[in-house]
Amino acid sequence: MIHIKYYMNDSINSNLCWYKKHVLIDMLCQDIIVLFEESMDTQNEMIIPKHSKKWEKIELILYKELLNYIYKYKNNLIIQSVQQDERKNLIIQNLNKELYVKRFKIRKYVNNTNEILFVKPPPNDPNRYNILKFVFSLKTNNCEIIIENDTIVLESGNLLIFPNDFIYKIKIPITETQYIIYGELAYIQKH
pLDDT at 87 over 70: yes
> What is the pLDDT, as a whole number, of residue 132?
87
What is the crossing angle of helices 86-95 and 56-80, to 10°?
Answer: 140
The C-alpha atoms of residue 132 and residue 44 are separated, in whole angstroms, by 23
pLDDT at 36 over 90: yes
> What is the pLDDT, as a whole number, of residue 1?
32
> What is the pLDDT, as a whole number, of residue 124?
55
CATH T-level fold of 4-188: Jelly Rolls (2.60.120)
Question: Whole-model pTM?
Answer: 0.83
> What is the pLDDT, as a whole number, of residue 172?
58
Q: Is 60 exposed, middle or buried (0-12, 13-18, 19+ CB in 10 A)?
A: exposed
Can you give the C-alpha Rg of the chain in angstroms?
16
